[in-house]
Amino acid sequence: MSGPVVDAAPAASVRPRRARLSYTPYLLLLPGMAWLVVFFVVPMLSLASQSLQTGNVETGYSLTWHFQTYADALSQFWAHFTRSIIFAGSATVLTLLLAYPLAYFIAQKVGRWKNFLLVLVIAPFFTSFLIRTLAWQTILTDNGPVAGLARSTHLTDLLQWVHLTNNDSLMNSRFAVICGLTYNFLPFMILPLYANLERLDHSLIEAAGDLYATPIQTFWKVTWPLSLPGVVGGTLLTFIPAAGDFINSRLLGNTQTVMIGQVIDSEFLRVQDYSTAAALSFVLMLIIVVIVALYVRRAGTEELV
């Protein structure tokens, strides 16, 4: 993709520049990469080590290769793992369904309003994540207009029937958590999709039309396959943070919607059982790496970033 450019300089300056340039990339990389190694790779190793240590906060920890911590942590919190994956997965599918039309609309239909609409997509970011999630409490509150509308259209009955809510209110339910996750990570889906769809050559769609393809056929045979890199990028950027999130489940859910991030947070900071917390953290990371690897292989995209 981004090929070498410096080599193509005029002949006279090639030789001295090449000798010097061989160090340049490493010098440019050094500070940034050092930061990533010291504060990302080393902490991951430290996390792995912590998960195999035994002890407690008062007496200190020692490395005993205690793999039992993993077995205990997993048997105790397995339900939280599966719940997190299901919630994050549902939110990812929903964001894709919502983001695709909007991204397509901005990329292909609006012309000079493009930048303005893109700003509106990014704009919510600037009001804090937490404040916006708290705003959902206001929106979904029991005696608010949204809940009233849902009750009068029997949407609440439907949600209750599929076990997304427990009673006729919308707040503090699976529905509210998935709704919040979908909302919070929507821009992460829209932006990669937009970046991809913007480069879509419109003459391909016209060509499909000329060849008597219906709009639906055109979408499935032309637009969708070409947009797959954007879909993969967007789904990863949505699924990964959603799987570890606990702000939505905490602010919009109930005790039945506790996600694994919330467990890790409280094991670390409140229970202070560092080994269990580290084991849970490590397993979450592993699950995500496996899912991402399988998914990327199936989708067949080499370049992620």
Binding mask 122-161 for another protein (x = CB under 8 A): xxxxxxxxxxxxxxxxxx-x-x------------------
Shortest spacing between CB 19 and another protein, in angstroms: 13
Residue 258 in the binding site for another protein (CB under 8 A): no
User: In this complex, which beta carbon is closest to another protein, that of residue 147 or of residue 161?
Assistant: 147
Is residue 211 part of the contact set for another protein (CB under 8 A)? no
Determine if 285 is a binding residue for another protein (CB under 8 A): yes
Pick between residue 57 and residue 71 the one whose CB is nearest to another protein.
Answer: 57
Tell whether residue 109 is a contact of another protein (CB under 8 A): yes
Closest residue by Cα to residue 251 from 124, 91, 131: 131
b or e along 64-73 (b: 16 or more beta carbons within 10 Å of the residue's beta carbon)? eebeebbeeb
3-state secondary structure the chain: CCCCCHHHCCHHHHHHHHHHHCCHHHHHHHHHHHHHHHHHHHHHHHHHHHHCEEEECCCEEEECCCCHHHHHHHHHHHHHHHHHHHHHHHHHHHHHHHHHHHHHHHHHHCHHHHHHHHHHHHHHHHCCHHHHHHHHHHHHCCCCHHHHHHHHCCHHHHHHHCCCCCCCCCCCCHHHHHHHHHHHHHHHHHHHHHHHHHCCCHHHHHHHHHCCCCHHHHHHHHHHHHHHHHHHHHHHHHHHHHHHCCHHHHHHCCHHHCCHHHHHHHHHHHHCCHHHHHHHHHHHHHHHHHHHHHHHHHHCCCCCC
CB nearer another protein, residue 149 or residue 161: 149
- Residues numbered 2 to 41 that lie near another protein (CB under 8 A) are 2-6, 8-10, 13, 17, 21, 24-26, 28-29, 31-33, 35-37, 39-41
- 230-249 positions binding another protein, by CB under 8 A: 236-237, 240-241, 243-247
Q: Is 269 in the site for another protein (CB under 8 A)?
A: yes
Shortest distance, CB of residue 57 to another protein, whole angstroms?
9
Residues in region 38-77 near another protein by CB under 8 A:
39-44, 46-47, 49-50
**Sole binder of another protein in the list 99, 150, 176, 181 (CB under 8 A):** 99
Smallest gap, in angstroms, from Cβ of residue 161 to another protein?
24
Minimum Å gap between C-beta 71 and another protein is: 20
In angstroms, what is the minimal distance from the CB of 18 to another protein? Answer: 11
Nearer to another protein, 103 or 159 (CB): 103
Q: Would you give the end-to-end CA distance of the chain in angstroms? A: 11
Nearer to another protein, 12 or 162 (CB): 12
Minimum CB–partner distance for residue 116 and another protein (Å): 9
In the list 147, 159, 186, 252, the residue contacting another protein (rule: CB under 8 A) is 186
Distance CA 277, CA 246 (A): 15
CB of 100 to another protein, least distance (A): 9
Give the whole-angstrom CA distance, residue 25 versus residue 67. 42
193 lies in the binding site for another protein (CB under 8 A): no
Does 162 bind another protein (CB under 8 A)? Our answer is no
